[in-house]
Homo-oligomer: A and B are copies of this chain.
């Protein structure tokens, strides 16, 4: 299992010019989005590039919750620029877009679908060498700085899908907690929910030695290998941080300790799920985001409807873990305890219900929308939501409990209202 390069510390962003010099880079592509382009994280990078005399071009047209179209726009920019290194400053949308731009610029004759996950794309292995990519996360959720995954909305099918290959993993992730201080409340909350689900899903994912088919040659093993003794360490550690710090980080932007810890937890959970994988919350989240109607979340400064990724993931979590607990009830109970449940008199067969209740209480305390109904879905949408989940088998097959279409319907239905 390969893990990631990360550097942590307040202000470490200022070293990025030196890192690029050390890499011998002369033409940098700096990717970000329009909101961030005027904010301190991008300024810190620009100052360091100037100090070390690094040439760069800025691409600030990244779309929050990117699409195949927005990926293609960034790819075109990257192809034209002939860059020898990339710097992504932003949340998962920016980092994922930059991974895709780096990949397709390095593989100019490829069709876009070549590297997109099967069955939507061809899922070809990446064999071309990519340029170095330094990721500077400004949200505390995706862990994209540590993973080989890039997610986007495939507009034609109205589903999220992505590209998954160790080859697109950033060369270095710069975890600078200073960048978390300007995050609005709901962005802290929703990105934190992503960390929560990364940890819970990777800890409860199908174990690595139960996955099938099991490619006999190690080189053909997928990036998502199932839960294993190493990803377990990261998942549990991230979950403990979430339990201790997420509420504090959301409620008080001045709580540097909480925000710094959540920034690390995002990377830690990323290292865990980047190896183990995620399962049903993520698999079901892609149509929840992809089929968005008119929902516009608080604190997101965008001109289109969107369900923030972390929100789309967490709304089904009570139903999902009530469903999966029958396979590893002790792990579900352990997770509930870490999240604050009193399990002294708990029966192991109630593990799923206890974790579900714990999650519902956690979300209620944080003023999370009351289920899928509150973000615009009704029972009539369930067939489309199920249909959008079926192509996500890269992750759904990592669920410890196999699921039928009826199971998925029931999970969506149980997630319509939480409280």
* A263-301 contact mask (Cβ, 8 Å, vs B): 1 or 0: 010001000000000000000000000000000000000
Q: Which residues does chain B contribute within 8 Å of A209, judged by CB atoms?
A: 9
Residue A402 at the B interface, CB < 8 A? no
Of all chain B residues, the one with the shortest Cβ separation from A234 is B233
Shortest CB distance A127–B (Å): 12
* A1-27 contact mask (Cβ, 8 Å, vs B): 1 or 0: 111111111000001001100100000
B233 touches A233 (CB 8 A): yes
Q: Which residues does chain B contribute within 8 Å of A4, judged by CB atoms?
A: 3
A228 and B8 in contact, given A217-B18, A219-B22, A233-B268 (Cβ under 8 angstroms):
yes
Residue A218 at the B interface, CB < 8 A? yes
Residue A302 at the B interface, CB < 8 A? no
Q: Which residues does chain B contribute within 8 Å of A6, judged by CB atoms?
A: 1, 230
Of all chain B residues, the one with the shortest Cβ separation from A3 is B3
Residue A53 at the B interface, CB < 8 A? no
Most buried by B among A22, A219, A229: A229
A5: contacting residue among B2, B5, B264, CB under 8 A: B2
Shortest CB distance A216–B (Å): 8
A1: contacting residue among B5, B19, B216, CB under 8 A: B5
- 28 example contacts (A-B, Cβ-Cβ < 8 A) are as follows A1-B5, A1-B6, A1-B7, A2-B3, A2-B5, A3-B3, A3-B4, A6-B230, A7-B218, A8-B228, A8-B230, A9-B208, A9-B209, A15-B217, A15-B218, A18-B216, A18-B217, A18-B218, A18-B219, A19-B218, A22-B218, A22-B219, A229-B264, A230-B268, A233-B233, A233-B234, A233-B237, A233-B268
A interface residues, Cβ below 8 angstroms from B:
1-9, 15, 18-19, 22, 208-209, 216-219, 228-230, 233-234, 237, 264, 268
Known: A6-B230, A22-B218. 10 other contacts (CB 8 A): A1-B6, A1-B7, A3-B3, A3-B4, A8-B229, A15-B218, A18-B217, A18-B219, A19-B218, A22-B217
